Chains A and B, each alone.
Chain A
Amino acid sequence: MIENYLIHLLILVGIYSILVISLNLAMGFTGLLNIGHVAFYGIGAYTSALLTLNLHFPFWIAIIISGIIASLFGLILAAPTLKLKGDYLALATLGFAIIIESIFKNWTSLTRGPLGIPGIPHPSLFGFEFSSLFSYLILVIIFVLITYFVIERLVKAPFGNILKAVREDEMVTKTLGKNTFKYKTLALVISAFFAGIAGSLYAHYITFIDPSSFSVLESILIVSMLIVGGTASNKGAILGALILILLPEPLRFLSLPSSMIGALRQMIYAVLLILLIIKRPQGILGEFRENVA
């Protein structure tokens, strides 16, 4: 029983790791303050659920299409907003996430609105169904590894150096003849792709999705994981997801009503986030930047 619960938590850590690593590409490495990352996650989850349920697509194709649709939305978001600076970009991405969330809630003929979509099938491969917790954990780990190595490869490549240059000083990068807008767009599109994948993995794991899983506050949680682990570090991203998922778990052993536990958990997140931002702005494993500390 307790092992099952532990595996369940690890699966969640894995899914969030994919989200945080993908956000890291846009936010940690490129410096785009995207606080609407959850929108791509939700789009991925809904796309995958609808494709497998309504059109009977196999999971393996649905998950790829989820990533592609999410990255298309990344492109739609990037085109107008990436010219905005810092805080203003943050607000625009926040607005984007809220618009997407309200579409999930209100386009009831497609998404069933607040009722959510039940009965999303587990993935299967050559007759083997990933319905046991352990098999799903293996599946998630494989996707985490793929995400980790792809993003790690990207940021170590010259491409990643340009992204970091954009983060440090966009003007100078432009002067050096780089089309910074193109690089920022690419960073956001790739970031959205993996968030869509994470959404699909979530939908086929929980087998039920509704708009409440993709609220803006969920987005703040993802950003917090990145900040706690340390921006511009993919290991930090995984650590951040691990800490913020596991840390509030002991609260479950308190005999309190679940709404109170939820509230306490949020309060712990908030205090931890604020303390870390004040005391160690680069996060636990973050890249040390002299101008930050």
Chain B
Amino acid sequence: MAIITQLLVNGLIAGSIYALIATGFSLIYNVKKLFHIAHGGIYALSAFLAYTFIVLFKLNFILSFILTLIIATLLGVLIDLLIYKPLRKQKHNELPLLLASFGTFIFLESFILLIFGADVKTFNFHITKGYEFLGAIITKTQIIILIVAVISFILLQLFLKKTTLGKALRAVSDNKEIASTLGINTEKITMITFAIGSALAAVAGILIGIEQNLEPSMGFMAILKGFTAAIIGGLGNIQASVLGGFFLGIIENLGIWFLPSGYKDAIAFVILILFLLYRPYGLFGMKTREEIAG
């Protein structure tokens, strides 16, 4: 029993990170119909930026958090303007966009490797004794991760549902042409989407930093898990991406009950392929099958 609750807790923590990445990814996919792989690079870079501010510059945590958020946001917008925007003008731009996104990701990852080197980094936070909860141990940092993630999701929901900009963003996601005939500036909405999406990736990057060691290559698995979560939930639905993230985190952790833990990553992709085949619109999505398989 204790093992199951422990695996569930671990799943929830991993799930919050996946869900944060998945929501940003899904948001950008909704507006631009683009698989933003470079998102994983922004996530990893944010973790290393936070490390730079906290450990190297010895700034306090909140300030480091805000600085990292700002830089990540700017970077996301810059990637869209410099790389994706010129490509959107090409007609058959599916493969070029995907590869350019991969290229950008590789650039960011190698940049981190060049600057910080290959050895692992930590934020050096004190490890405090965990709380016991139904036989499982949950640490203070894990509670922080969960709370910050949930707050981020609530803020995102409020933005999308209550503000004019958020409504405009959803309008562009639903139908770009009609939105633009109604006078919505789609270029501006694109910028805001990349800004918010990247900020979410940055939050995930900083949060993972308080819990785990940082490695330059950490972004790749993260983005793969992020879009797997988005697809499990159903691309095109932000709440569903959150649930998809938690679902993936929990399934993955429960999966190591049956398989050696080395197969943890493989579990996610078996689920991805199964979903692509049998339920490509995800658990909660409403997308028609025709958009995915012809």
Given contacts A270-B106, A270-B107, A277-B103, contact A99 B90 (CB under 8 A): no
Question: A187 → chain B, closest Cβ, in Å?
Answer: 16
Smallest CB gap from B108: residue in A: A270
Q: Is the CB of A217 within 8 A of B103?
A: no
Q: Which of B207-231 contact A (CB under 8 A)?
A: 220, 224, 227-228, 231
Q: Is B270 an interface residue (CB 8 A)?
A: yes
Most buried by B among A113, A271, A281, A291: A281
Q: Per-residue 0/1 for B258-286: is the Cβ within 8 Å of any A Cβ (1 yes, 0 no)? A: 00101101100110110011001000000
Question: A90 → chain B, closest Cβ, in Å?
Answer: 6
Task: Report A-chain residues with C-beta under 8 Å of the C-beta of B111.
Answer: 263, 267
Chain A contact surface mostly: helix
Task: Report A-chain residues with C-beta under 8 Å of the C-beta of B224.
Answer: 94-95, 98
Q: Is the CB of A99 within 8 A of B270?
A: yes
Q: Is the CB of A33 within 8 A of B276?
A: no
Q: Which of A31-85 contact B (CB under 8 A)?
A: 33, 35, 80-81, 83-85
Q: Which of A192-249 contact B (CB under 8 A)?
A: 216-217, 220, 223-224, 227
Q: Which of B62-100 contact A (CB under 8 A)?
A: 83, 86-87, 90-92, 94-96, 98-100
Q: Is the CB of A270 within 8 A of B110?
A: yes
Question: B262 → chain A, closest Cβ, in Å?
Answer: 4
Task: Report A-chain residues with C-beta under 8 Å of the C-beta of B273.
Answer: 80-81, 92, 95-96, 99
Task: Report A-chain residues with C-beta under 8 Å of the C-beta of B90.
Answer: 281, 292-293
Q: Is the CB of A102 within 8 A of B265?
A: yes
Contact of A277 among B87, B113, B277, B292 (CB under 8 A): B87
Task: Report A-chain residues with C-beta under 8 Å of the C-beta of B118.
Answer: 259
Report the contact-size class of chain B (Cβ under 8 Å from the partner).
Answer: 35 or more
Q: Is the CB of A281 within 8 A of B276?
A: no
Q: Is B294 an interface residue (CB 8 A)?
A: yes
Q: Is the CB of A259 within 8 A of B113?
A: yes
Q: Is B182 an interface residue (CB 8 A)?
A: no
Smallest CB gap from B93: residue in A: A281
Q: Which of B102-129 contact A (CB under 8 A)?
A: 102-104, 106-107, 109-111, 113-114, 117-118
Q: Is the CB of A105 within 8 A of B262?
A: yes
A263 to B113, CA, bound (A): 6
Q: Is A146 an interface residue (CB 8 A)?
A: no
Q: Is the CB of A274 within 8 A of B104?
A: yes
Smallest CB gap from B289: residue in A: A83
Task: Report B-chain residues with C-beta under 8 Å of the C-beta of A85.
Answer: 291-294
Number of chain A residues whose Cβ lies closer than 8 Å to a Cβ of chain B? 50
Given contacts A87-B35, A273-B100, contact A292 B92 (CB under 8 A): yes
Q: Is the CB of B276 within 8 A of A88?
A: yes
Task: Report B-chain residues with C-beta under 8 Å of the C-beta of A172.
Answer: none
Q: Is the CB of B114 within 8 A of A263?
A: yes
Q: Is the CB of A84 within 8 A of B269?
A: no
Task: Report A-chain residues with C-beta under 8 Å of the C-beta of B292.
Answer: 84-85, 88
Task: Report A-chain residues with C-beta under 8 Å of the C-beta of B265.
Answer: 98, 102
Given contacts A99-B269, A264-B114, A270-B106, contact A88 B280 (CB under 8 A): yes
Task: Report A-chain residues with C-beta under 8 Å of the C-beta of B293.
Answer: 83-85, 88
What are 16 A-B contacts defined by CB distance under 8 Å? A33-B95, A80-B273, A83-B294, A84-B280, A86-B95, A88-B276, A92-B276, A102-B266, A171-B294, A260-B114, A265-B110, A267-B110, A267-B111, A269-B103, A277-B96, A278-B87
The 7 closest A-B pairs by CB, nearest first: A95-B269, A270-B107, A266-B110, A106-B262, A263-B114, A263-B113, A102-B266
A residues within 8 Å of B by Cβ?
33, 35, 80-81, 83-88, 90-92, 94-96, 98-99, 102-103, 105-106, 113, 170-171, 216-217, 220, 223-224, 227, 259-260, 262-267, 269-271, 273-274, 277-278, 281, 291-293
B residues within 8 Å of A by Cβ?
35, 83, 86-87, 90-92, 94-96, 98-100, 102-104, 106-107, 109-111, 113-114, 117-118, 220, 224, 227-228, 231, 260, 262-263, 265-266, 269-270, 272-273, 276-277, 280, 291-294
